[in-house]
A and B are shown apart, each in its own frame.
Chain A
Amino acid sequence: MKEITSAIQLIPLEHYILLSVALFSIGLLGVLFRRNTIIILMCIELMFNSVNLLLTAFSAYHSDPAAQVFVFFIMIVAAAEVAVGLSILVMMKRNVDSVDINLLNRLKW
Chain B
Amino acid sequence: MVEQIPYINLAFFIPTFPLLGFLITGLFYKRLKHNQAGIIASIMITLSFLFTVILYFILKSSDKQAATVTLFDWISIGNMKIPFAFLIDHLSLTMMMIITGVGTLIHIYSIGYMRGDERVNSFFSQMNLFTFSMLLLVMGANYLILFIGWEGVGLCSYLLIGFWFKNPVYNYAARKAFVMNRIGDLGFILGIILIFFTFKSLSFSEVFSQAAALQIGMPVITLITILLLVGAVGKSAQIPLFTWLPDAMAGPTPVSALIHAATMVTAGIYMIARSGILYNLAPITLQIIIILGLSTAILAAIIGLKQNDIKKVLAYSTVSQLGYMFLALGLGAYSTAVFHVTTHAFFKALLFLGAGSIIHAMGGEQDIRKMGGLRKKMPLTYITFLAATLAISGLPPFSGFFSKDMILNKAFEHNILLYIIALFGALLTCFYMFRLLYLVFYGKQRIATVRPHESPKVMTYPLIILAILSVFGGFLNIPALFNGNSNFLNYLQTAVSVKITEEISHTTEIILIFISLIFLSLVILFAYRIYVKKSTLPEEDGASMSVITRIIYRKFYIDEIYCTIIEKPYALLSGFFYNTIESAILNPIIDGIGNTTYWLGNMTRKLQKGNISFYLFAMVAGILLFIFFILII
Contacts and interface: CB of A to CB of B under 8 A. Distances in A.
The answer to whether A and B touch in the complex, with CB atoms under 8 Å apart, is yes
Interface of A: 28, 31-33, 35, 101-102, 104-109
B613 A35 contact: yes
B612 interface: yes
A47 to B, nearest CB: 11
B68 to A, nearest CB: 82
B610 A105 contact: yes
Contacts, number: 28
Interface stretch (B197-205, B394-402, B614-622): B614-622
B610 A109 contact: yes
Contacts of A33: 613
Contacts of B612: 101-102, 104-105, 107
A97 B613 CA distance: 19
A107 B610 CA distance: 5
A33 B615 CA distance: 12
B546 interface: no
Nearest to A44: B616
B573 to A, nearest CB: 51
Contact of B610 (A31, A32, A108): A108
B9 to A, nearest CB: 83
Contacts of B617: 32
Interface in B572-619: 608-613, 615-617
A108 B615 CA distance: 10
Contacts of A101: 612-613
28 contacts: A28-B620, A31-B616, A32-B613, A32-B616, A32-B617, A32-B620, A33-B613, A35-B613, A101-B612, A101-B613, A102-B611, A102-B612, A102-B613, A104-B612, A105-B609, A105-B610, A105-B611, A105-B612, A106-B610, A107-B608, A107-B610, A107-B611, A107-B612, A107-B615, A108-B608, A108-B609, A108-B610, A109-B610
A102 B612 CA distance: 7
A33 B617 CA distance: 9
**The 7 nearest A-B residue pairs measured at CB:** A108-B610, A105-B610, A108-B608, A107-B610, A105-B611, A101-B612, A32-B617
Contacts of B620: 28, 32
Listed residue (A32, A101, A104, A106) with the most chain B CB atoms within 10 angstroms of its CB? A32
Give the interface residue-count category, chain B: 10 to 19
A102 B616 CA distance: 12
Nearest to A34: B613
A27 to B, nearest CB: 11
B615 to A, nearest CB: 7
A30 to B, nearest CB: 11
Nearest to A101: B612
Contacts of A102: 611-613
B127 to A, nearest CB: 74
Contacts of A28: 620
Contacts of A31: 616
B129 to A, nearest CB: 69
A60 to B, nearest CB: 25
Nearest to A105: B610
Listed residue (B609, B613, B620) with the most chain A CB atoms within 10 angstroms of its CB? B613
Given A102-B611, A108-B608, A109-B610, 10 more contacts: A32-B616, A32-B617, A33-B613, A35-B613, A102-B612, A102-B613, A105-B609, A105-B612, A106-B610, A108-B609
A106 B609 CA distance: 8
Nearest to A35: B613
Listed residue (B609, B616, B617, B620) with the most chain A CB atoms within 10 angstroms of its CB? B616
Listed residue (B610, B615, B620) with the most chain A CB atoms within 10 angstroms of its CB? B610
Contacts of B610: 105-109
Contacts of A108: 608-610
B623 to A, nearest CB: 10
Contacts of A105: 609-612
Nearest to B607: A108
Listed residue (A35, A105, A106) with the most chain B CB atoms within 10 angstroms of its CB? A105
A106 B612 CA distance: 9
A76 B421 CA distance: 117
A43 to B, nearest CB: 10
A32 B612 CA distance: 9
A67 to B, nearest CB: 21
A101 B615 CA distance: 12
A28 B624 CA distance: 12
Contacts of B608: 107-108
A103 B615 CA distance: 14
A45 B567 CA distance: 84
A102 to B, nearest CB: 6
Nearest to A31: B616
B76 to A, nearest CB: 68
A102 B617 CA distance: 13
Nearest to B617: A32
B348 to A, nearest CB: 84
Contacts of A106: 610
Nearest to B623: A28
A36 B613 CA distance: 11
B362 to A, nearest CB: 83
A33 B620 CA distance: 12
Interface string B362-402: 00000000000000000000000000000000000000000
A90 B609 CA distance: 24
A105 B612 CA distance: 6
B603 to A, nearest CB: 15
A17 to B, nearest CB: 16
Nearest to B606: A108
A108 B612 CA distance: 10
A108 to B, nearest CB: 4
